């Protein structure tokens, strides 16, 4: 596996060429991905956008190692995930991927800090040490002293931050989020997305966000427009080349970004 230090910002973290995926067979077969070509750079936030059913979730699942591709080439930080067997693949996800789920999926019976600690515990850290780190990270996300609460006791604005903390606590090289704002109102969705961008973009980390929420397009470095299983446009987002701290000011539409490099 490639050493993270060798991946510099804007180098290609994930490389897809002609990736295909078909669900089912025969009459009822659905060609979800029909040849995806995409380079996801490290140090950037890449959004996958497009109409419902176009294949966004399928694509993000494949590059996060949750789903196998049928054809084409895929290298994630230099690793071809197809070469990993199921348990090795699980270990790869554990070591390399942070997830933010649409419903956040925080376990209600565990405390906030315990939820956040899960990726570290899965990596073999003791619960005590992992929970301590979780408290520290939560504090930097404005959740100081809330670590012992039940997740459902937190406000709607606090829960996404717990999910963000859980996705980042083990410092993954890849962060994937599928529709992270779709369950939130517009204002909260924008704030959460700003937080994701502000906290997660790092030179050695690739961030991939699936969304169809055009109010957050301006927070992308690049936007891949998925249509019918293909990427028919790749545009630079408004946030590209801007310091991550000033992401909240832009309101420009996604298509106005510079460098509209189009792949087909």
Ligand X SMILES: Nc1ncnc2c1ncn2[C@@H]1O[C@H](COP(=O)(O)OP(=O)(O)O)[C@@H](O)[C@H]1O
Binding residues (CB under 6 A) for ligand X: these are 23-24, 30, 32, 52-58
Per rule CB under 8 A, count of chain residues that contact other proteins: 31
74 binds other proteins (CB under 8 A): no
- In the bound state with Mg ion, the residue whose beta carbon lies nearer, of 49 and 143, is 49
97 binds, among other proteins, Mg ion, ligand X, none (CB under 5 to 8 A by kind): other proteins
Q: Pairing state of beta strands 174-178 and 206-210?
A: parallel
Residue among 232, 234, 239 at smallest CA distance from 259: 234
Nearest approach, Cβ of 131 to other proteins (angstroms)? 10
CA 180 to each of CA 128, 139, 159, 205, 234: distance values in angstroms, whole numbers, following the listed order: 29, 21, 12, 18, 21
E-assigned strand segments in 86-200: 97-100, 174-178
Sequence-distant (6+) residues with CB within 8 A of 121 are 127, 130
Nearest approach, Cβ of 8 to ligand X (angstroms)? 31
CA 160 to each of CA 94, 191, 199, 207: distance values in angstroms, whole numbers, following the listed order: 20, 10, 13, 16
86 binds other proteins (CB under 8 A): yes
CA dist 93 and 204 (Å) reads 16
57 binds Mg ion (CB under 5 A): yes
85 binds, among other proteins, ligand X, Mg ion, none (CB under 5 to 8 A by kind): none
Say whether 216 sits in a helix, a strand or coil.
helix
Say whether 35 sits in a helix, a strand or coil.
strand
- In the bound state with ligand X, the residue whose beta carbon lies nearer, of 63 and 112, is 63
127 binds other proteins (CB under 8 A): yes
67 binds, among Mg ion, ligand X, other proteins, none (CB under 5 to 8 A by kind): other proteins
Residues that bind other proteins in the complex, under the rule CB under 8 A: 57, 60-61, 64, 66-67, 86-87, 90-95, 97, 99, 101-103, 105, 107-110, 114, 118-119, 121-122, 127, 178
């Amino acid at each position: 596996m490639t050493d993270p230090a060798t991946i510099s910002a804007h180098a290609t973290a994930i490389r897809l060429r002609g990736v295909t995926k078909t669900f089912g067979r025969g009459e009822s077969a659905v060609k979800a991905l029909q040849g995806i070509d995409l380079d996801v750079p490290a140090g950037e936030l890449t959004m996958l956008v497009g109409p419902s059913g176009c294949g966004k979730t399928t694509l993000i699942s494949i590059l996060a190692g949750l789903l196998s591709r049928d054809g084409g080439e895929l290298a994630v930080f230099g690793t071809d995930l197809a070469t990993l067997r199921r348990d090795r693949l699980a270990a790869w996800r554990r070591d390399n991927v942070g997830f933010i789920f649409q419903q956040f999926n925080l376990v209600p019976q565990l405390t906030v800090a315990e939820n956040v600690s899960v990726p570290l515990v899965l990596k073999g850290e003791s619960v005590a040490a992992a929970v301590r780190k979780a408290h520290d990270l939560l504090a930097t996300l404005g959740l100081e002293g809330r670590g012992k609460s039940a997740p459902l006791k937190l406000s709607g604005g606090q829960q996404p931050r717990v999910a963000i903390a859980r996705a980042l606590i083990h410092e993954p090289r890849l962060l994937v989020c599928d529709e992270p704002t779709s369950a939130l109102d517009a204002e909260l969705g924008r704030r959460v997305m700003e937080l994701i961008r502000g906290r997660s973009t790092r030179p050695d980390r690739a961030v991939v966000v699936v969304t169809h929420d055009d109010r957050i397009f301006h927070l992308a470095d690049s936007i891949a427009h998925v249509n019918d299983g293909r990427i028919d446009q790749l545009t630079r987002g408004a946030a590209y080349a801007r310091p991550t701290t000033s992401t909240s000011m832009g309101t420009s539409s996604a298509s106005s970004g510079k460098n509209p490099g189009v792949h087909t």
